[in-house]
Each structure stands twice: as structure tokens, then as C-alpha cells.
Structure 1
Amino acid sequence: MRKLRILLVDDDPYILSGIGKDLESEGYHVNTAESGERAIARLQETHFDLVITDLLMDHIDGIQVLKAAKARSPETMVLILTGYGDMSSAIDALRLDADDYMLKPCEPEEIKFRVSRCFERLEASRKIRLYEKMLPICCVCKKIRDDSGQEPGTGQWVSVEKYVWEKAGIAPTSTYCPQCAAAVKKEMGLE
């Protein structure tokens, strides 16, 4: 399994070093950016599973980093970290899809817990999307339940051929794979 990738953004080198080392000791792959500009450049170069960004920075702030991260990949988790938090900034960040919001200074155990919680939610979200893409196929007759435009689990059961024709406009033909052809020949005594 690949290491989860974190982009840590802060204009304070002590924050980058301290939090970065703590997260690397937990087994995460951590990249750092000392400004919002550098963070946006890194986001364009590499995919990150989580961005931890300071809220207040010169020129490009944490909200702009949040927007850039979500625009590049809505799945990317974003944790806003600030020493100047107020209710208004927290609400603004959460309205813009920030996944968490923390006040500095923070204890190493607290940031590790919050990061872990972000990754748990990310994993759950990825599983849900995977399950949503799965096609229910009957293990006996091999029909597919087509839930398109309906409540999941309530669709009609249709043949594979009909499903492929309706969804992709492809007319499948029936044939035998080599193993099934050999089994049918053997069963019919044609070998």
C-alpha cells in the first residue's frame, strides 16, 4: 500500500519542521511549502491526499490554498491550521469544504489524531464511491440490476446483452471461451 501524501503549508519554518517530523514518524509522506504560492505550485505538480495549511499568510492565504486543492481534486482533504482563529473564519473555511479546522499551538497528539480522522473519512469516501460504481450481477443467471435513475437496489434485472446495448450501444454476440468450448465438446462426447 502506498504512503498517504500530505502537503504541509505554513510561513513559519518551525511549524513546517516540527509538525512535518511528527507526521513523517507516523509513516506519512510529507512535503512542505513555505507560502501559499509554493503550495499551489506543488498542488499542480503532485496529488496529495491531505493539505494542512495555515490560514493567514502573505499574498496567497489558506483559503486560496483550500480552493486550489479542492479545484484540483475534490477528494483531497484539507485541514486549516491557524493561530488567529475566530468563528467567522472557521465557518468560511468549512463552507468552502475544509475538512477540519484547528487552532495553533496544537499538541502533537491532537494533530496526529485529526490527520488520522481525516484519512479515515477519506478511506470511507473512497469505499462508498467504489461501491456505487459496482454493478450488481446475479450469481446464478448473470443478469444485471440496472439502478439508473432509481433508488439503489430497486432497478430492473436485465440481461448482460440488453444492459451493454442500452448503456454503450454495443451489440454483444454470444460465443464460447476456449475452456467452456472444450467442456461442452467433452460433455457432448465430441472429443
Structure 2
Amino acid sequence: MKGNAHILVVEDEQDMLLGLRKILSKQGHHVQIAETGSIGAQKLEQSYFDIVITDLKMPGMDGMELLRKAKGVHSDIIVVMITGYGTVESAVEAMKLGAYDYITKPFDPERIRTVVRKALKQIALINENRYLKQKMREASDTQNIVGDSKKMQGRLQGILCSH
């Protein structure tokens, strides 16, 4: 699946922020950027995003708090954490809070492209699952309509008894 995802990148390091925007925009994604967690949280409340890529350590609102807010706004949103200060503890905490992936800096740009590609496949599966569940509900809601009335039940019983 290529392009057209709405991605929010939240990163306080300007070079990293612009680099991520460039990498993702070249893939055809719609990318918005925020230099702080607070600005990122505002953007999450104002617009829909498929994926959020956020730095872990930022002044003010950090990436963990932004992850919590993102999941509060849209529980199925994909959040990817990036950090130059990765620890096992922070990775475990991020995953428990619902992060999709945890990437330590420096990283190869291909790593970001791969994570986004896999995340988009997961989003497609979630959407397909939701669609199929809705169709199943609709089918089960209408399945018993024909035979629900007493009059129809009587006729069906008559047909079955005559054979």
C-alpha cells in the first residue's frame, strides 16, 4: 500500500522533523509536522491522522503523553515512537500504552518507510474487519425477518407438516 496516508510527525529536532517529512512526502503521504507535543496534541484534535510518528523525549509534553492523548482521540491510530534515548523500560511502557513500534535513533530512512508500509497494511486489515463485521450484523439483523410473524410461522408449519 503506497501513499495517501495522513501522517503527523512530532519531533523537537528540526533536522529530524524536516527529514521525516521529506521521506514520507516522497512516498506520497500527506504529512503535517509539529515541533512540540502540545502542538501535536492540538493537531490530533483538529484533524484525522492514520499514523503519528513522535519523538519520545521533548520539552513539555513528551511522546508518552502524546501517545496517551492520541489513543484517547482515536483508539485505532497507529503511533510510532522514535528516540535517541531508548531504554527497555521506555520501550515496554510505550508498547503497553499501544505504540505500534519503537525505533531508536539514528535509523535508516528505509526503516521508517517499512514501518509505515506495515502500519498501512494493518490499517487496511482493521478497516476490512470492521466492514465485514458490519455486513455480518446487517445480514443477521435481516435474516429472521421473513419468518418472524405469527402468520408466516403458521404457513411455514403447514408446509412442513404437509410433506
**Which sections of structure 2, spanning at least 5 residues, go unmatched?**
150-163
Letter in 2 for 1:110: R
Matched with 1:125 is 126
Matches within 5 A, 1:147-166: 157-159=143-145, 162=148
Q: CA deviation at 1:133?
A: 0.8
Q: Which has the higher helix share?
A: 2
Matched with 2:99 is 98
**What is the distance in 2 between the residues matched to 1:92 and 1:112?**
24
Matched with 2:84 is 83
Q: CA deviation at 1:27?
A: 0.4
Letter in 2 for 1:114: V
Matches within 5 A, 1:53-72: 53-72=54-73
Matched with 1:134 is 135
Give me the TM-score of the superposition, normalised by structure 1: 0.72
**What is the distance in 1 between the residues matched to 2:87 and 2:104?**
9
**What is the distance in 1 between the residues matched to 2:25 and 2:103?**
19
Taking a change above 3 Å as real, the CA distance of residues 106 and 128 of structure 1, as seen in their structure-2 partners, is same
Taking a change above 3 Å as real, the CA distance of residues 75 and 160 of structure 1, as seen in their structure-2 partners, is farther
Q: CA deviation at 1:135?
A: 3.2
Q: CA deviation at 1:107?
A: 0.6
Matched with 2:12 is 11
Taking a change above 3 Å as real, the CA distance of residues 89 and 127 of structure 1, as seen in their structure-2 partners, is same
Matched with 1:23 is 24
Higher relative contact order (CA 8 A, sep 6+): 2
**What is the distance in 2 between the residues matched to 1:78 and 1:59?**
19
Q: CA deviation at 1:136?
A: 7.1
What SS does structure 2 have at the residue aligned with 1:134?
helix
**What is the distance in 2 between the residues matched to 1:82 and 1:104?**
6
What SS does structure 2 have at the residue aligned with 1:79?
strand
**What is the distance in 2 between the residues matched to 1:24 and 1:89?**
29
Give me the TM-score of the superposition, normalised by structure 2: 0.84
Q: CA deviation at 1:159?
A: 2.2
How many residue pairs get matched?
147
Matched with 2:47 is 46
- Give RMSD over aligned pairs: 2.1
Bigger Rg over Cα? 1
Matched with 1:145 is 140
**What is the distance in 1 between the residues matched to 2:47 and 2:70?**
11
Seq. identity, %? 34
